[in-house]
Amino acid sequence: VQLQASGGGLVQPGGSLRLSCAASGLTLDYYAIGWFRQAPGKEREGVSCAPAGDSSKWYADSVKGRFAISRDNARNTVYLQMNNLKPEDTDIYFCATVGEPCTIGTMGPRGRLGYRGQGTQVTVSS
Using CA atoms, how far apart are residues 3 and 56, in angstroms rounded to an integer?
23
Q: Cβ(83)–Cβ(67) under 8 Å?
A: yes
**pLDDT tens-place string over residues 44-68:** 999 999 999 888 999 999 999 999 9
**pLDDT tens-place string over residues 97-118:** 999 899 999 999 999 999 998 9
- Which DSSP helix (H) or strand (E) runs through 49? strand 45-50
